[in-house]
A and B are shown apart, each in its own frame.
Chain A
Amino acid sequence: MTITEAPQATRRLTTSKAMVEAIAQEMDRDPSVFYLGEDVGAYGGIFSSTTGLLERFGPQRIIDTPISETAFIGLGIGAAVEGMRPIVEVMFTDFMGVCLDQIYNHMAKIHFESGGNVKVPMVLTMAAGGGYSDGAQHSQCLWGTFAHLPGMKVVVPSTPADAKGLMTSAIRDDNPVVYIFHKGVMGLPWMVKNPRSIDEVPDGEHTVPIGEARVAREGSDVTVVTLSLSVHHALDVAESLAPQGIDVEVVDLRSLVPLDRDAIVASVAKTGRLVVVDEDYLSYGVSAEVVASVTDRDPTLLRVPPQRIAVPDVPIPYAHDLEHAVLPRHDRIERAVRTAMGR
């Protein structure tokens, strides 16, 4: 966690409350910031992304939309072009299909196509991830797809403090920033309890630089590069393997665009062993990009073949046991670490 000044007072919050706090602070600071999406008003966001904000800021700034993603994302784009700073929510990353043109052909390209003359300072927030039997159309991560398409920054916080810090940075950034939060890190009372979803969050102004990874746990034997909820699982595995003499370093990417390739390479240079854990689909995505970050630079850094633990190239199944067989959870992570260690 980057601290911008002397150590600040902190208190514990869930990730969702930390995210809301960042939005509220920025809305206080800048009257051009507003939030729109489905059920973000009275409901407070289906995944608690805007809890309490309607009461505080009113319906002119916390706005419920019709089910018209193309129209309201486009509205965000036009408002951003004319000097406002919208935060637009797409309820699930899985819904990108109905509105992808506004996102990747417009929001992401206008700055470039205008030779830098037009800016689109907007944030696109989205909930992602599975593990609670929501089926193939409501459990995807898809951050690799957004990262693959040029012109938008992509951030994926795993901790409450980073959720606040990255949201603040995303709002202040003059570029379009896609902010993806895994439902499992939010600390929602109606999902399985996750102790890592509650943690210290700095009071007051708190920013985390976009494009900078964080070493969540230092180690010397094997590097696990990961993001989002998988950071929690990697830390759990690291803690259980430590007494067995396997010292795991966990690198939390935090951002996919820009990708902190230097941090990835630095860690692998130290340990020589790489396991990538990604809840997005295996092929043509984030995990391959992380491996390529090392091999493009110096493949001899790797003492053993790198491993990628991701969702295989299948739609995510509904039945609990099937779903958990494809998710990159503790058992698969531990097996990969042991394979890397040769034990």
Chain B
Amino acid sequence: MTTEAASTSIPQQSRRGEVPEAAVRLGLYRTMVLSRTYEEAILREYHADKGPGFDIGKGLVPGEMHLSAGQEPVAAGVCAHLTTDDAVTATHRPHHLAVAHGVDLRKMTAEIFGRETGLGRGRGGHMHLFDPATHFSCSGIIAEGYPPALGQAFAFQRQGTDRIAVAVTGEGAANQGAFHESLNLAARWSLPVVFVVEDNDWGISVPRDAATAIGSNADRAAAYGIPGERVENDVEAVYDAARRAVARARAGDGPSLIEVHTLRMWGHFEGDAQGYRTDLADVAERDPIPRYEEVLRKAGVLDDEKVAQAKADASRRVEDAVEFARSSAIPDPADATAYVFTEGALR
């Protein structure tokens, strides 16, 4: 089933800081709206039947849930430069990246709902989404999504293509060994990787300043001899930085690091009371989507009709995916031990 590709045919801009074409800007906005609409639907479905109180294992969507509201600029800005032949590895908070990269919404939602029609036949769940069609994967272990991205990039390079791998983690992951090993190895072997760090200020409840010895992870790139850039949660700033990093990788010039100072609007996980958080009062006004909407309205790219259309289109696609998931079969417990090994004939 084909999906409405999110910004895969956007023409590239050539100079730093240049304002993208109107079509690009509209595409970025629509991708962010689709992503937010998706997360709002998952939020709704997740909480619908957890009560009374909050029983994490209960309901249609059990388990942990890590939603990406506020981080849409990262996904939209980076994935605008990718095709579905490029690889993306993401984290426990993967939905915005999956949506922006073009993962099939029905199969993704069915997986989140634990259904047989899901990407992983219900075996993986929301933190373990694997989509071979778009080379998308994610992992629940902090920083451990970086190393496999190296391998995908290595294979693309060996296969003689200009395909790349984008590896995304949070700012907390930048203190994990895998992060440093990956940057060094990718740099040493000049692999076509773009490393993205989503600095949303909070490693669950621990603020970045309490965990990280330096002010910006972009500065860590220099330790590995690669370019590093830190931008704010502005989709066009992300788009601009990603354009350069992606072009560099495709040209065979090696990896780069982009850190985006983004915004985690909701809890680390759903059910997180966020009592530790000191910036909640600012969250609403820092929401990147209304801000970008305002920018585009002023530029004449958006009007009431286009805004409504974006929201209606998003809603239609998201509710279709949710309905597909809800009406899909639950996996048979008799098959609980299937799929450990592939039993194809030896080559």
Binding site for B on A (CB under 8 A): 30, 65-66, 68-84, 86, 98, 101-102, 105-106, 109-119, 150-151, 153, 169, 172-175, 207
Contact = CB atoms under 8 A, between A and B. Distances in A.
A73 B147 CA distance: 8
A106 B89 CA distance: 12
Contacts of A80: 151
B120 A174 contact: no
Given A75-B150, A78-B153, 17 more contacts: A30-B347, A68-B184, A71-B182, A72-B185, A77-B147, A77-B151, A81-B152, A83-B155, A84-B154, A101-B178, A106-B144, A112-B339, A115-B119, A116-B342, A117-B120, A117-B132, A175-B341
A71 B185 contact: yes
Contacts of A115: 118-124, 339
Interface centre among A30, A98, A105, A169 (most CB of B within 10 A): A105
A78 B154 contact: yes
A172 B121 CA distance: 26
Contacts of A175: 341-342
Contact of B156 (A82, A119, A174): A82
Nearest to A107: B148
A150 B22 CA distance: 51
A192 to B, nearest CB: 36
Contacts of A75: 147-148, 150-151, 154, 185
A72 to B, nearest CB: 7
Contacts of B132: 114, 117-118
Interface in B170-193: 177-178, 181-182, 184-185, 188
B256 interface: no
Nearest to B155: A82
Contacts of A151: 340-341
Contact of A102 (B144, B154, B342): B144
B99 interface: no
B165 interface: yes
Contacts of B30: none
B129 to A, nearest CB: 9
A31 B147 CA distance: 23
Contacts of B152: 78-79, 81-82
Contact of B119 (A74, A109, A117): A117
Contacts of B158: 79, 84
A78 B181 contact: no
Nearest to A176: B341
A82 B151 contact: yes
Contacts of A98: 177
B184 A74 contact: no
Give me the 6 closest cross-chain CB pairs, A-B, nearest first.
A74-B147, A78-B151, A115-B121, A71-B181, A82-B155, A114-B130
